[in-house]
Amino acid sequence: MQSNAALEYDYSVAKLFTYTAILFGFVGMLIGTLIAAQLAFPELNYLLGEYGTFSRLRPLHTNVVIYGFTLSGVWATFYYSAQRVLKVSMAESKFIMFLGKFHFGLYLVAAVAMVLTLLMGITTSKEYAQMEWPLDIIIVVIWVTWGLAMFALIGIRREKALYISMWYFIACFLGVAMLYLFNNMEVPTYFASGGVGSMMHSVSMYAGTNDALVQWWWGHNAVAFVFTVPIVAMIYYFLPKESGQAVYSYKLSLLSFWGLMFVYLWAGSHHLLWSTVPDWMQTMGSIFSVVLILPSWGSAINMLLTMKGEWNQLTENPLIKFMVLASTFYMLSTLEGPIQAIKSVNAIAHFTDWIPGHVHDGVLGWVAFMIMAALFHMAPRMFKREIYSKKLIEAQFWLQTTAVVLYFTSMWIAGITQGMMWRAVDEYGNLMYSFIDTVTVLHPYYAIRALSGVLFLTGFLMFAYNMVKTMTSSRKLEEEPQFSSPMA
């Protein structure tokens, strides 16, 4: 083992995942912008035959953003920050380095296969679990490989105390492992139908209400353990590192951690309100969803209070802007979700555009902002060059903030309008509006959503350009910055 003084962190795996985060971020957001435009202008469905329809592209968009962009960002930040908080370099162990590179290689194969199979219409049709069984097996191997690499690093650490970020990364690993295995219990149709069906297609081992419950136990916790837990791990590491401020309260971070772990797991049945699921389970989902505000806000407030007395950094450092606004969007999203889980609100909100509005203020404002800020922080330290352009980051920040606000406000209005029109009846108890009436009324809001997609995608292209220029041609750094990232 190397001595502490000579410790040189190895970022080769973190760099690889950084590249895929940029690539999949662009692809996922491009497809998202196209399908948003298709809702406003249906003729765009016919550009590429069956491969360009909304129904074919929408699963591709969600899966590329979740399992391409977000997971690449999670793993890039993990392989970067874990070495630093554990005070160990991946280069010290050939086994860990092999695991990291094998993890990336197999992930890239699976990600490409996911894109191709979903584009061809090969799908289980289960939300956030569309990949068919051969890909599921590869995904399990990828996940186990990451777990081995994580616990191997923890096993040889020099820093005995596990920083809170590592708790959240461990929770991400364990949570997804358990939930993914249970939800993806499936049998190839060929065997289920006595040799008649396809080997590539499968049927769930659960049926009816049981299948719905297991699916949303997974579906909601895919949001918990991919979009929330590892992103919280990121902000607990990168905000203090970028600002030079100590975390406001370590006790609050632990309280929020155990609160999230206990409560989030049981909120999934709020996706099945007003369904054939037993009423007590629906009520439990609603109650746990409302309680979820406490640990969620605990983390977000902890981050905002970390900046106490240092708010001037918001005007000086655009990365702090991204992280603070990410925390704010996290607070907004984790208040909005529980409100939608209240039965009387859900009666209006469910199946409306308010739901994707809620998802996207979380994904765009919380997840994407945090991943981009984290990668910007990592870039000068991994590539030993200053960030190419501060002005470009500032412009990107305001463009994407405008995009997120346009997105969720247009979808709030559209969703509540939909819900009210669907329920409106005349004095005889007959429905006042046909479905097409609601579609016509919503057209302007769909156009605004498409515009917000164009703005956010443009901002992401600015981010990608800035990152590439940082990697290749910005000024070289003589020594690693201690806190705020140097920018031209």
Domain ranges of the chain: 1-161
- Quick one: tokens of 315? 């005007």
Q: Name which of 396, 394, 379 is nearest 472 in CA terms.
A: 379
pLDDT tens-digit readout, 70-92: 999 999 999 999 999 999 999 99
Phi, psi of 203 (to 5 degrees): -120, 145
Q: Which two tokens stand for residue 83?
A: 């070495």
pLDDT surpasses 80 at 5 = no
What's the whole-number mean pLDDT along residues 319-340? 96
More confident residue, 192 or 150: 150
In the predicted model, what is the mean pLDDT of residues 455-460?
Answer: 98
Closest to 355 measured CA to CA, from 412, 404, 437: 412
Strand partners of residue 187: 203
Phi, psi (degrees; rounded to nearest 5) at 385:
-140, 150
Q: Where are the alpha helices (DSSP H) in 6-63?
A: 12-40, 54-63
Measured CA to CA, the distance from residue 350 to residue 273 in angstroms comes to 9
Kindly report, residue by residue over 217-253, the tens digit of the pLDDT.
999 999 999 999 999 999 999 999 999 999 999 999 9
Helix/strand number for the chain, H first, E second: 19, 2
* Among the ranges given (7-11, 101-105, 106-110), the one the predictor scored with the smallest mean pLDDT: 7-11
The neighbouring-strand residues paired with 425 are 431
If pLDDT is split at 50, 70 and 90, which confidence band does 7 have? confident
Query: CB within 8 A of 161, min separation 6: which ones?
Result: none
How confident is the model over 314-326, as pLDDT tens digits?
Answer: 999 999 999 999 9
Q: List the structure tokens of 97.
A: 């380095």
Residue 6: the pLDDT is 55
Share of the chain above pLDDT 70, in %: 99
Mean pLDDT, to the nearest integer, of 245-273?
95
pLDDT in tens, 115-174: 999 999 999 999 999 999 999 999 999 999 999 999 999 999 999 999 999 999 999 999
Gap between the Cα atoms of 338 and 316, Å rounded = 35
Answer for the pair 34, 44: CB distance below 8 angstroms, yes or no.
yes
CA distance 236 to 230: 10
Q: How far apart are CA 486 and CA 389, in angstroms?
A: 10
Q: Which residues are paired to 204 by β-bridges?
A: 186
Q: What are phi and psi of 247, to 5 degrees?
A: -55, 135
pLDDT given for residue 4 in this prediction:
45
Is the pLDDT reported for residue 376 higher than 80? yes
Cβ 146 vs Cβ 101: under 8 Å: no
Cβ atoms of 406 and 362 closer than 8 Å: no
Q: Angle 404-405-411 (CA atoms, 0-180°, nearest 5)? A: 90
Question: What's the rounded Cα separation, in Å, for the pair 115 and 111?
Answer: 6
Give per-residue pLDDT as tens, 416-429: 999 999 999 999 99
CB atoms within 10 A of CB 355: 17
Among 379, 268, 333, 473, CA closest to 11: 379
Residue that is written with structure tokens 């999203």 in the block:
333
Closest by Cα among 137, 152, 240, 147 to 184: 137
| pLDDT band at 192; cut points 50, 70, 90 | confident
CA angle 16, 19, 21 (to 5 degrees): 110
How high does pLDDT run on average in the chain?
Answer: 95
CB 323 within 8 A of CB 242: yes
Collapsed DSSP state (helix, strand, coil) of residue 487: strand
Q: Is the pLDDT of residue 195 over 90?
A: no
At a CB cut-off of 8 Å and minimum separation 6, what does 33 contact? 450, 453, 454, 456, 457
Alpha carbons within 13 A on the beta-carbon side of 444: 5
Contacts of 303 (CB under 8 A, 6+ apart): 235, 236, 239, 248, 323, 324, 327
Structure tokens at 177: 């492992």
pLDDT category of residue 295 using cuts at 50, 70 and 90: very high
